[in-house]
Amino acid sequence: MARFILRRILQAAFVLLVMSFVIYSLIGLMPGDPIDIMIASNPGATPELAAALRKIYGLDQPLLSRYGHWLWAAVQGDFGYSRLHSAPVLAVLAPALWQTCKLMLISFTAAVLLAFALGIVAALRPGGPVDALISLFAFAGISVPVFWLALMMILVFAVDLHWFPASGIATVGDGSIRDYARHMVMPVITLALAQTGGFTRFVRASMIESLRSDHVRTARAKGAGEGRVVLVHAFRTALIPVVTVMALNFGSLFGGALLTETMFAQPGMGKMIYDSILGNDYNLALTGLLFATLVTLLSNLLADIAYGWLDPRITLA
Amino acid sequence: MRVWAAMAVAAMVVFAAPAYAAPREQLVIGVSQFPSTLHPAVNPEAIKSYTMGFGLRPISAFDSDWKNTCLQCTELPSLANGLARMEGHGMAVTVKLRSGLLWGDGVPVTAGDLAFMWKLGHDPESGFADLSYWLRVDSIEVIDDLTAVMHLNQPWTQFDHLPGMLPEHLEAKAAAAGKQPGDYAKQSLYARAPTTPGLYNGPYRITQYDSGTQVVLEPNPYWHGTAPGFRRIVIRAIENTAALQANLQSGDVDFAPGDAPSLTLDQVLALRRQHPDAWTYLFKPALSYEHIDLNLDNPILADIRVRRALLLALDRRTLADRLFEGMQPVAASFVTPLDPMHDNAVPVQPYDPVRARALLAEAGWRPGPDGICRNARGERLSLEFGTTAGNRVRELAQLVMKDQWRAVGVEALVKNDPARTFFGETVKRRQFSAMAMYAWSTGISYPPRQVLASDQIPTASNNWGGSNYMGFRDAGMDAAILTAETDLDPGHQRAAWAAMQRIYAEQLPALPLFFRADAYVLPKWLKGVRPTGHSDYSSLWAEDWHAE
């Protein structure tokens, strides 16, 4: 197991190295640079000033040279300076990461628990009215765009009912846990609902297959109660493909987080990566995207480890 | 099931309390961008200038009547009062600061702070985004704590537009610590510790800075002017303008300003139609000038008759009435009628499709079987027409204009790019083959060298510097710009500005469209906000804002 994990970590390091180059190159290939943005709003800007600013920001160097400098500094723990936030990248990233982690973990947990419950119930009577209702809910969750759902949540729960604040992470001058929690409710529900639909469909399909398998039939023949058959024998087997899908989906939560963070004006990683790409903030964009890559790689590693736990026949070596 | 239901109800009771009534001693301003830095001279951004307007005052600024006024000085320098005089090939401009001005930590504001600003602004490695002002100043002589003389290396008509200052007692250390070019911008307290009280000399100072989210301002105890009307001002960034509008409707945001990036004009117009009595709506014509650049290297557009025909074929007034409910005035040239240098002798060209067709015929373009004109060689009168993709109002206007041109036999081929590509490549490198629609923003009576002088045409040899994207070359325009920049005789200046507007309207390097209007949504209880319509934002007079 230890060798397996070590090997995967080394693979992840290699993937991150390759990705850093790919991302840096892609951002570098985008049209325009930060100085274009600066001088566009400056009626007194001259070509000489633009050249001086490019030198200051290191943009007069070839892309490969800039990447080399960044990589060498990053290896030493310096991920550079964020031009958009006027602060070192790690100082900008850490609070945003914490905010997104809270949002992602809570909404992911909520989505998974809800999907398990709905998926199992739907699989018990496939084709029945309850299954149809749950499928309708699941397809609605899959098809409704996150930004629209977020806007509807704001209009209903903030504009009409005044139950929850429409934006931000805390009320200025409050800072109580209750206040933080109130600000988290709508983003969490939005992001969770966006994930639940797909997860529910996977759980349902996997459970239907599992309930028809030989070992479940054997368990029933041995006289196991229906609850034990479903929740222990069938569900554990059904979890194997579901865990894969959920692990792969965890990385994509950044995409959903971007939309919820934008709509609810919360300072998280998703929004930060988006802004940094649009604003040509190379250092921040690169580090943020690498972190998103790392999260995906780690969630896949966790999924592989979970296989071994769920299915004793699988050995990790 | 009952347990779950009970838990859900309990959660609702705990978390879903009705929103608190907005206390009138706090004002929450909703904007759609967040400043990348608070340093006043690094990264010119409208949102930064708006935010800093509450806390950091320049020595002078244009007010809501577009008159240059003293904010931190006793009187503006002029040749008449002797505070400005010619010396050698340049000028000496005396700045007299008001007595009793203090930074937010109680340290006096002095002429040394102005000299410190110049020292940094004069250094090309400081990271200042606009060195042009400071490079005109050869030296600053500090006479006493409240008096300094700026020695300009050439006459400059904008000499009485006095700059801001930096607190030397706090920023000198950061300036000295810089080892690499641009280090100062990173070391500055405005970047590292923006809640340091001494960085501000206005009625408010920043007490909380949540990067990307919000800035909180509270009254500066060392401010000696009119007492601020709010205990707290929160500037909250909500990037998505639909969400921003929802925040306004829910009461999470009180005020959407028109001079900072916030709700769009069409959103405000729609809001006014839906809720005419819920808020106070203000519309202020502004300096931003919407127009269509014409690439004068295009052989079709090199013919002035075609350029005139294109303008005459546009019904701009109806377009402005329908799309902007008449809030955006139609432009005759690049100078807004509100500018003191506007020349009434240059009229807005009328909508005249008959004359447009005649001009095209005169230029050798006659309608073909499909209605599109062709020349003697059988070439179609077809022109690419680009703008920023995703800008809903612009794209709508573009479609209307395309139809209007088609009616006179001109085929406009829409070719839009994302803003980043459009400004970063398409116009910057003059890659648009015919027409590009966007807006300029400038200062009041600020000479238009960057956009209209022949030495500002972007080319590979000048590393694509300058913003004369049209490729406009006119000796008369170049001479008038120079006069507007350096001739201190008011009569000569006025004549130069009149010449610039006349040449622009006659030569049409760009098709003038509209002057944008800033749209404000204010709560009924908010009083004292005076929109300016220019780059000295209304926040510079925030001490007059109060709740009623």
Q: How confident is the model at residue B18 (pLDDT cuts 50, 70, 90)?
A: very low
Distance CA A144, CA A141 (A): 6
Query: Cβ contact (<8 Å) for B450 and A92?
Result: no
The whole-angstrom separation of Cα B32 and Cα B264 is 10
| pLDDT in the model for residue A315 | 63
Verify whether the Cβ–Cβ distance A166 to B250 is below 8 Å: yes
Largest CA distance in chain A: 86
Asked if residues A131 and A125 have their Cβ atoms less than 8 Å apart, the reply is yes
Q: Chain B window 4-63: which residues touch A at a Cβ cutoff of 8 Å?
A: 12, 14-20, 26, 36-39, 42-46
Distance between CA atoms of B93 and B78, rounded to whole angstroms? 8
User: Least CA distance to B19: which residue of chain A?
Assistant: A162
Q: What is the pLDDT of residue B352?
A: 97
pLDDT digits (tens, 9 = 90+) for B239-298: 888 999 999 999 999 999 999 999 999 999 999 999 999 999 999 989 899 999 999 999
Structural tokens at position B252 = 């999470």
Position A306 pLDDT exceeds 60? yes
**pLDDT interval class at A294 (50, 70, 90):** confident
pLDDT score recorded for residue B205: 97
Contact assessment for residue B415 and residue B398, using Cβ atoms and an 8 Å cutoff: no
Q: Which of B26, B421, B466 sits opposite A47 (nearest CB)?
A: B466
Q: Which residues contact B53 (CB under 8 A, 6 or more apart)?
A: B202, B536, B537, B538, B539, B540, B542
pLDDT at position A45: 65
- Of B39-43, B91-95, B459-463, least confident by mean pLDDT is B459-463
pLDDT given for residue B4 in this prediction: 54
Instruction: Indicate yes or no: CB of A162 within 8 angstroms of CB of B463.
Output: no
Where residue B111 falls among pLDDT bands split at 50, 70, 90? very high
Q: How far apart are CA A287 and CA A272, in angstroms?
A: 11
Assigned token pair, A126: 């496939």
Q: A247 or B11, which is more confident?
A: A247
pLDDT band at B534 (very low <50, low <70, confident <90, very high): very high
Report DSSP state, residue B463: T
Burial of A266 (0-12, 13-18, 19+ CB in 10 A): buried
Q: Cβ separation of A158 and B243 shorter than 8 Å?
A: no
Contact A172 B208 (CB under 8 A): yes
What CATH superfamily is the domain B60-171?
A: Dipeptide-binding Protein; Domain 1 (3.90.76.10)
- Tell me the chain A residues in contact with residue B464 when contact means C-beta distances shorter than 8 Å: 47
Q: What is the DSSP letter of A243?
A: H
**In angstroms, rounded to a whole number, what is the distance separating the alpha carbons of residues A107 and B220?**
41
Whether residue B250 lies within 8 A of chain A, CB to CB, comes out as yes
Question: Which pLDDT value is given to residue A183?
Answer: 93
B158 touching A, CB under 8 A?
no
* Residues on chain A touching B32 (C-beta within 8 angstroms): none
pLDDT at A44: 61
What is the Cα–Cα distance from B514 to A56, expressed in whole angstroms? 37
Task: Write out chain A residues lying below 8 Å of B36, CB-based.
Answer: 83-86, 279
Closest Cα in chain A, distance from residue B211 (Å): 7
Quick one: which H or E segment has residue B268?
A: helix B265-274
| Gap between the Cα atoms of A167 and B244, Å rounded | 9
Distance (Å, rounded) from C-alpha B256 to C-alpha B244? 9
Amino acid occupying residue A10: L
Domain(s) labelled CATH 1.10.3720.10 in chain A stretch across 90-310
Percent of chain A exceeding pLDDT 70 equals 93
Is the domain spanning A90-310 CATH 1.10.3720.10? The answer is yes
Per-residue pLDDT band for B19 (boundaries 50, 70, 90) equals: very low
pLDDT of A146 > 50? The answer is yes
- The band of A63, judged by pLDDT with boundaries at 50, 70 and 90, is confident
pLDDT, tens digit, 9 for 90 and up, residues B146-204: 999 999 999 999 999 999 999 999 999 999 887 777 788 888 999 999 999 999 999 99
Task: Tell me what the mean pLDDT of segment A44-66 comes to.
Answer: 75
Q: Give the residue with greater pLDDT, A52 vs B70.
A: B70
The HSE-up count of residue A101 (CA atoms within 13 Å, CB side) is: 8
Q: Do B101 and B72 meet the contact criterion of CB atoms below 8 Å apart?
A: yes
pLDDT at residue A247, rounded to an integer:
77
Which one of B12, B208, B213 has the shortest CB-CB distance to A265?
A: B213
| Nearest-angstrom CA–CA distance, B408 and B405 | 5
Query: Cβ neighbours of residue B286 under 8 Å, at least 6 residues apart?
Result: B258, B259, B336, B515, B516, B517, B518, B533, B534
Average pLDDT, chain A: 85
Looking at the predicted structure, is the pLDDT value of residue B66 above 90? yes
User: What is the complex's ipTM, to 2 decimals?
Assistant: 0.77
Nearest to B465 among A46, A83, A162 (CB): A46
- Does A147 sit within 8 Å of B446, measured CB to CB? no
Phi-psi sector, A119: left (phi>0), alpha (psi -120 to 50), beta? alpha
CB B138, CB B153: distance < 8 Å: yes
Mean pLDDT on B457-463: 81
Distance CA B392, CA A35 (A): 26
**Cβ proximity of A283 and A80 under 8 Å:** yes
Sketch the domain layout of chain B as residue ranges.
Answer: 21-56+172-285+519-547, 60-171
Nearest C-alpha in A relative to B190: A86
User: A268: pLDDT confidence band, cut at 50, 70 and 90?
Assistant: confident
Q: Answer whether B247 sits within 8 Å of A158, measured CB to CB.
A: yes
Look at residue B458 and tell me whether its pLDDT is greater than 70: yes
Q: B303-312, B369-378, B413-422, B478-487: which range is least confident on average?
A: B413-422
Reported as a single tens digit per residue, the pLDDT across B33-64 is 898 889 998 877 889 999 999 999 999 999 99
The set of residues, in sequence order, having a beta carbon less than 8 Å from that of B454 and lying 6+ positions away, is: B468, B472, B473, B474, B475, B477, B478
- Same fold for the pair B21-56+172-285+519-547 and B60-171: no
- In three-state secondary structure terms, B26 is strand
Q: Is B282 helix (H, G, I), strand (E, B) or coil?
A: strand
Which one, of B523, B76, B548, lies nearest residue B277 by Cα? B523
Q: Residue B68 pairs with which residues in a beta bridge?
A: B62
Whether B412 contacts B435, CB under 8 Å? yes
The DSSP annotation for B248-266 comes to HHHTS--BB-SSSS-S-HH
Closest-CA residue of B relative to A151 is: B243
pLDDT > 90? residue B10: no
What pLDDT, in 10s, does the model give residues B315-351? 999 999 998 998 999 999 999 999 999 999 999 999 9
**Largest Cα–Cα distance in chain B?**
91
How far, in Å, CA of A4 to CA of A11, rounded? Answer: 11
* Other Cβ atoms closer than 10 A to A240: 16
Q: Is B377 helix (H, G, I), strand (E, B) or coil?
A: coil
pLDDT above 90 covers what percent of chain A? 27
Q: The tokens 């604003």 sit on which residue? A: A279
From chain A, pick out residues whose CB is under 8 angstroms from the CB of B339: none
Name residue B504's amino acid.
Y
More confident residue, A28 or A119: A119
pLDDT in tens, B197-218: 999 999 999 999 998 889 999 9
From chain B, the residues in CB contact with A36 under 8 A are 423-424, 428
Where are the extended beta strands (E) located within chain A?
Answer: 81-82, 87-88
Rounded CA-CA distance A125/A163 in Å is 37
For B234, the 3-state DSSP assignment is strand
- Is residue A270's pLDDT more than 80? yes
Whether residue B1 is predicted with pLDDT greater than 60 in this model: the reply is no
A250, β-bridge pairs: none
Provide the token pair at A208. Answer: 């239907």
Pair of tokens at residue A25: 């190159």
- Mean pLDDT, residues B73-88: 96
As its CATH architecture, domain B21-56+172-285+519-547 has: 3-Layer(aba) Sandwich (3.40)
A154 with B26: Cβ contact below 8 A: no
Kindly report the backbone phi and psi dihedral angles of residue B183, in degrees, each rounded to the nearest multiple of 5, phi listed first: -60, -35
Q: Are B52 and B38 in contact (CB under 8 A)?
A: yes
Report pLDDT for A224: 83
Chain A residue with CA closest to B444: the answer is: A43
Query: Which B-chain residues 210-229 have CB contacts (< 8 A) with chain A?
Result: 210-214, 216
Question: pLDDT class for A220, splitting at 50, 70, 90?
Answer: confident
3-state secondary structure of B548: coil
SS3 B438: strand
Predicted confidence (pLDDT) at residue B21 exceeds the cutoff of 60: no
pLDDT tier at B505, thresholds 50, 70, 90? very high
Eight-class DSSP state of B108: B
Q: How far is Cα B48 from Cα B40, in angstroms, rounded to an integer?
A: 8
From the list A102, A69, A66, the residue with the least C-alpha distance to A269 is A102
Phi, psi dihedrals of residue B25, rounded to the nearest 5°? -90, 0
pLDDT at residue B20, rounded to an integer: 44
> Exposed/middle/buried for B516, CB within 10 Å: 0-12, 13-18, 19+?
buried
The tokens describing A280, both together, are: 């040509």
* Torsion B98-B103-B107-B110 (CA) sign: negative
Are B155 and B488 within 8 A, CB to CB?
A: yes
| Residue A312 clears pLDDT 70, i.e. is over it | no
CB atoms within 10 A of CB B528: 15
C-alpha B443/C-alpha A142 separation (Å) is 50
